[in-house]
């Protein structure tokens, strides 16, 4: 059993004296002394939130590692695990002083704090990613990290309640499932109880109080049970050690979450553990226990015949006492018990006089196959958050164990289906799957696999492959990714064919409307240099990529067609057209658009110099022809008029109810500065299309240091315009975006990325 508290050790000498006497003969004490002194001086002057010297933390972590009976390098890694993160120490320094194995351990645990991530969440996700990957190379990395987390939880009392809850939840999400996966149940229970204490202190102390109230009664009950078992086994000449095992506080808390009355009754708070010499004795003892008390149906588990993936082996049975109280009995050998207590650490009890080569990887590859899955995800997934979520989803879910017809055990997450099973066996088995049998009876592919099922996958070479519908019910990441990969590969040609037909149809219709002096067939348009350049401007390497995007309905060909039509106008004529559109007042579609205080029968026009949009602050001016021109109040021309001809100013405001009911639109102009990238035009127009906004005209120019877009668009109101500006500004290719102001130096509407993040 792990100690429940960590001693406060402040000096290298105190640390060496605190090492376990049981493991001391196998230690390289000179190396440990050197590492302890190195850490002591590296952390000198640093303090913890508790007020203790910081060095007390690495000393405490190293002593927990010592309790796990790991090798000298592991203890050195624990002593030095924060030096690279918090001190002026490099990994090269550690390699020079203590060797490459220690360097690798420290690197695996280091939190990457010296790299500038955009957020704490990203930093934490990337840190966990690195630690998990390092664990696939040397499992000692996670053992050190678990010890580090245990001591941090033991000393969280001086942190804010919010920080205590955050760290506790992170531990429950990542670290306790890892401890479970590694079979380190003592460590897992210690972590869980401390998490409960910090995340739910009221529940923790209530459970503590209730258990204390029934302590004497419970101890008497346990003594009676042990006495009955010992007497029976002695008569049968079966050697054994028997002990009572109370449930952890966290497991009691979980029971309370499912059963409100559980805390009042607490009928199965204790368990009995029997340790004997061999497997045969285990099964013999099981029969004798069942002869004393009645076993509970469906509560027997044989983890000796079918061990857990973390190598745990034991017999579990729940029986009923004559007074109605249920309790669990666990039966195992001494070797099984060591594995159950220490988990994977029991298989890594290094002797320091052995070669350090391959330490941390001396495991049966079938025993910890899930570590290989972590390594595969690392190479497939770039985003750290997605990586951690995959780890949490697939590796930390409740598991079921099924068999192939030849007896191979397949481990899957709870709720997995025959399709998940098929893809776990092999990708091609999944792709050719047409049905499944469980225990020789046909089941639907949506069937939820249960423990002990014998699964036979029915395959056919004539199968067309997985259905998209399978994505609705598969549970494992492997199955989902394999299905998506197949669908993507097989659908590409279909999309290209579909897109080609759409493009041909649109160009045929467009060609019919061309004037006689510019007559061209759809093939001539498609094969023109102009069309190729337009495709390239939208990021399509060749026309097949355009066909695929159109076929998937991810791109509207109108964006290119309109551009071709625009390019057929001379550049200077286009710019003159733009200028005239800016300056010419836009006649009101309806007198109901603007309400003019005190005047009727005026012809209302929107000024083209500033393009007012519904929601702008506006002002009206009587024109020479007795019409009314509406400007934005911020318009420089309106400001000038207010100074020189204030008598022509008229108070106006938007007719909101009319505008909303008629869904009126207004023209406005924006200019966009971009990085010089080939796909920027496609991305900008796609954003505009997503807002269902019409582009009246577009002018694009390219420079060495970037690109420039001028757009006149139809907008519904100022809120829609602001949302559009924000969305375009969010594109990584966009440097800045401006709403055009007349006769005024332009100012960026959203000039930097950080303004809105």
Q: Is 66 a catalytic residue?
A: no
Out of 14, 86, 122, 389, the active site residue is: 86
Q: SS3 breakdown of the chain: % helix, strand, coil, rounded to 5?
A: 50, 15, 35
Per DSSP (E only), the strands in 257-361 are 270-276, 294-295, 301-302, 315-320, 326-333
Q: Is 647 a catalytic residue?
A: no
Find, among 410, 133, 184, the residue nearest to 310 by Cα: 184
Distance between CA 674 and CA 550 in Å, rounded?
25
Distance between CA 674 and CA 734 in Å, rounded?
4
Residues near 565 by beta carbon (within 8 Å), at least 6 away in sequence: 510
CA 455 from centre of chain: 32
Out of 28, 85, 302, 741, the active site residue is: 85
Q: Which tokens in the block code for residue 540?
A: 């399509």
User: 739, 720 in Cβ contact below 8 A?
Assistant: no
Per DSSP (E only), the strands in 220-269 are 241-246
3-state secondary structure of 509: helix
Q: Which tokens in the block code for residue 304?
A: 């000796």
Q: Which tokens in the block code for residue 145?
A: 């990290």
List beta partners, residue 703: 706
Q: How many CA atoms lie within 13 A of 587 on its CB side?
A: 2
Backbone angles phi, psi at 411, to 5 degrees: -100, 125
As a dihedral over the C-alpha atoms of residue 565, residue 566, residue 572, residue 573, rounded to 10 degrees, the angle is 70
Distance between CA 506 and CA 69 in Å, rounded?
74
Query: Which residue in this structure is represented by tokens 């590859």?
Result: 365
3-state secondary structure string across 627-685: CEEEEECCCHHHHHHHHHCHHHEECEEECHHHHHHHCCCEEEEEEEEECCCCCHHHHHH
3-state secondary structure of 604: strand
Would the CA dihedral through 642, 647, 649, 652 be positive or negative? positive
User: 699, 733 in Cβ contact below 8 A?
Assistant: no
Strands 628-632 and 618-622 come out as: antiparallel
Distance between CA 526 and CA 712 in Å, rounded?
27
Q: What angle do CA 181, 186, 187 make, to 5 degrees?
A: 65
Q: C-alpha distances in angstroms, 574 versus 538, 684, 711?
A: 21, 21, 12
User: 269, 247 in Cβ contact below 8 A?
Assistant: yes
Find, among 645, 657, 651, 660, the residue nearest to 631 by Cα: 651
Residues marked active site are found at 85-86
């Amino acid at each position: 059993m792990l100690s429940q508290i960590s001693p406060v050790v402040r000096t290298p000498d105190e640390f060496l004296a605190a090492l376990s006497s049981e493991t001391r003969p196998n230690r390289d004490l000179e190396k440990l002394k050197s590492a302890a002194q190195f850490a002591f001086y590296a952390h000198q002057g640093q303090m913890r939130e508790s007020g203790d010297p910081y060095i007390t933390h690495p000393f405490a972590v190293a002593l927990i590692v010592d309790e796990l009976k790991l090798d000298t390098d592991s203890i050195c890694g624990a002593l030095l695990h924060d030096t690279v993160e918090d001190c002026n120490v490099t990994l090269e320094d550690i390699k020079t002083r203590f060797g490459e194995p220690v360097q690798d351990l420290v690197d695996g645990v280091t939190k990457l704090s010296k790299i500038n991530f955009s957020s704490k969440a990203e930093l934490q996700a990337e840190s966990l990613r690195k630690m998990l990957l390092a664990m696939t190379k040397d499992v000692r990395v996670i053992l050190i990290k678990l010890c580090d987390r245990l001591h941090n939880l033991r000393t969280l009392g001086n942190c804010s309640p919010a920080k205590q809850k955050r760290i506790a939840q992170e531990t429950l999400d990542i670290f306790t499932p890892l401890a479970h996966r590694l079979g380190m149940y003592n460590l897992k229970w210690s972590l869980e109880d401390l998490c409960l204490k910090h995340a739910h202190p009221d529940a923790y102390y209530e459970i503590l109080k209730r258990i204390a109230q029934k302590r004497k009664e419970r101890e008497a009950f346990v003594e009676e049970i042990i006495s009955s078992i010992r007497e029976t086994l002695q008569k049968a000449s079966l050697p054994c050690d028997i002990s009572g095992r109370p449930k952890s506080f966290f497991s009691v808390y979980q029971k309370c979450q499912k059963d409100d009355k559980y805390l009042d009754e607490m009928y199965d708070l204790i368990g009995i553990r029997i340790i004997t010499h061999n497997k045969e004795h285990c099964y013999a003892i099981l029969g004798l226990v069942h002869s004393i008390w009645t076993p509970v149906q469906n509560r027997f588990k044989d983890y000796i015949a079918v061990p857990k993936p973390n190598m745990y082996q034991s017999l579990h049975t729940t029986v009923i006492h004559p007074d109605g109280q249920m309790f669990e009995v666990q039966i195992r050998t001494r070797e099984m018990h060591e594995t159950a207590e220490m988990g994977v650490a029991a298989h890594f009890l290094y002797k320091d006089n052995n070669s350090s080569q391959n330490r941390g990887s001396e495991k049966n590859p079938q025993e910890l196959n899930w570590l290989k899955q972590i390594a595969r995800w690392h190479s497939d997934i770039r985003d750290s958050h997605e990586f951690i979520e995959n780890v949490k989803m697939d590796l930390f879910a409740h598991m079921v164990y099924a068999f192939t017809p030849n007896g191979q055990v397949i481990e899957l997450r709870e709720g997995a289906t025959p399709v998940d099973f098929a893809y776990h066996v092999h990708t091609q088995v999944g792709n050719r799957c047409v049905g499944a049998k469980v225990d020789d009876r046909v089941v639907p592919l949506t069937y939820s696999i249960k423990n002990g099922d014998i699964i036979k996958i029915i395959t056919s070479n004539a199968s067309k492959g997985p259905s998209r519908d399978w994505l609705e019910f598969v549970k494992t990441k492997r199955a989902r990714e394999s299905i998506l990969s197949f669908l993507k590969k097989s659908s590409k040609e279909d999309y290209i064919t579909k897109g080609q037909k759409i493009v041909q149809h649109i160009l045929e219709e467009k060609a019919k409307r061309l004037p006689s002096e510019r007559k061209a067939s759809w093939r001539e348009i498609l094969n023109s240099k102009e069309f190729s350049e337009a495709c390239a401007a939208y990021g399509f390497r060749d026309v097949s990529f355009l066909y695929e995007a159109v076929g998937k309905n991810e791109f509207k060909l109108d964006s290119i067609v309109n551009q071709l039509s625009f390019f057929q106008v001379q550049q200077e004529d286009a710019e003159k057209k733009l200028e005239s559109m800016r300056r010419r007042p836009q006649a009101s579609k309806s007198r109901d658009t603007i309400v003019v205080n005190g005047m009727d029968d005026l012809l209302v026009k929107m000024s083209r110099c500033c393009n007012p949009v519904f929601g702008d602050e506006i002002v009206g001016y009587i024109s020479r022809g007795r019409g009314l021109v509406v400007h934005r109040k911020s318009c420089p021309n309106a400001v000038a008029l207010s100074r020189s001809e204030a008598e022509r100013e008229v108070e106006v405001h938007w007719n909101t109810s009319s505008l909303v009911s008629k869904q009126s639109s207004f023209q406005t102009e924006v200019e966009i500065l971009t990085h010089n990238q080939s796909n920027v035009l496609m991305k900008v127009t796609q954003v505009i299309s997503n807002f269902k906004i019409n582009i009246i005209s577009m002018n694009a120019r390219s420079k060495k240091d970037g690109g420039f877009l001028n757009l006149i668009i139809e907008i519904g109101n100022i809120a829609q315009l602001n949302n559009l500006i924000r969305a375009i500004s969010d594109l990584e290719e966009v440097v800045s975006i401006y709403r055009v102001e007349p006769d005024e130096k332009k100012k960026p509407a959203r000039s930097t990325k950080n303004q809105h993040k």
